Amino acid sequence: MTILIVLIVLILFYLFLIAPRMIGRADRTLFLNRHYAHRGLFENGSEAPENSLPAIRKAVEAGYGIEFDVQLTKDEQLVVFHDAALKRMCGVEGHVWDYTLAELQQMKLLNSEETIPTFEQVLAEVNGRVPLIIEYKLDKVQTKVCKLADRVLSSYQGPYCIECFHPLALIWYRKHRPEVMRGQLCEEFFRVERFKGNPVYAVMSFLLPNVVTRPDFIAYHYQHERNFSRRICRRLGALSVAYTIKSKEAYESVKDKFDLFIFDSFILK
């Protein structure tokens, strides 16, 4: 009997730790029944590379929601760019935070004529026409990007939510902007070589930081869809978002296991 009681208590404690926001949930209506173009509807090697204004424009014109990345420059300007390093997309050494906005905008994206857009430029391009999933990049562990981006978003007239791998961004939004839908990005880090053996990432893999972030949705790597905590969170009411679907076959394999889908490299209809 004692063992049973202990087991029940442990289960309840686990559910308390990983539970999403249960009370006062943000309105999710405008985000449903859409697929989300990852970094815009891009084609690297064309004049619409990832996270460029043409890729954003193409996604809007096709009626897709958009997932894109925001980070800070050296002079604390907001730009839409995924990688911390500039080498892959711009052929330049260093990181986004090593350069000012003016310096970054001299660089071309993958030999196209496009440059790194500002957050304001991307929002103006979308102009509220489709819902946005905005990922904050916290490669440098501080929440200033949240504060500065939120200042811009306060006058934006369109549906958006935020997501981040780092719980600090969700904690910031829980404290300062609880009405905004917030999502925890995650995967089974213990399966990824560079994270193996790191206990912090192991804890994150099972969504235990939810106890302080209380996310509205969980964006999880679709190949790790069997993760027990992810599935329990969905049962507890969190939206379940799959990233990043790269083929029709991948979509078909998980279409009943998630609620929303972030895709690239093909057209998800």
User: Within a domain: residue 3?
Assistant: no
Which run of H or of E encompasses 66? Answer: strand 65-72
User: Quick count: other Cβ atoms within 10 Å of Cβ 265?
Assistant: 14
Task: Flag whether 166 is in a domain.
Answer: yes
Q: What is the pLDDT of residue 194?
A: 82
Q: How many Cα atoms sit within 13 Å of 39 on the Cβ side?
A: 23
Domain count, the chain: 1
CA 75 to chain centre: 24
Domain span including residue 256: 27-263
Which residue bears the tokens 């906005």? 101
Q: Which residue has the tokens 């809007």?
A: 60
Q: Is residue 10 part of a domain?
A: no
Q: Which residues contact 155 (CB under 8 A, 6 or more apart)?
A: none
pLDDT of residue 199: 84
In tens, the pLDDT along 80-119 reads: 999 999 999 999 999 999 999 999 999 999 989 999 999 9
Domain contains 16: no
Instruction: For residue 151, tell me if it sits in a domain.
Output: yes
- Report pLDDT digits (tens) over 193-217: 888 878 888 889 999 999 999 999 9
CB-count exposure of residue 1 (10 Å: 0-12, 13-18, 19+): exposed
pLDDT at 111: 86
Residues 6+ apart with CB under 8 A from 165: 138, 185, 186
Please check whether residue 4 lies inside any domain of the structure: no
Q: Are 229 and 34 in contact (CB under 8 A)?
A: no
pTM score of the predicted model = 0.96
Q: What is the CA radius of gyration of the chain?
A: 19
pLDDT at residue number 197: 78
| Domain assignment of residue 2, yes or no | no
Ranges of residues in the chain whose predicted pLDDT is under 50: none
For 9-25, give the DSSP string: HHHHHHHHHH----SSP
Residue 39 CB coordination number (10 Å): 24
What pLDDT is recorded for position 139? 86
- The helix (H) or strand (E) run that includes residue 176 is helix 167-176
Residue 19, phi-psi category: left (phi > 0), alpha (psi -120 to 50), beta (remainder): beta
CA distances from 101 to 110, 138, 170 (A): 18, 18, 26
* 77 found inside a domain: yes
Q: What is the CATH number of the domain that holds 64?
A: 3.20.20.190
pLDDT recorded at residue 193: 84
Residue whose entry in the numeric block shows the structure tokens 């996310």: 215
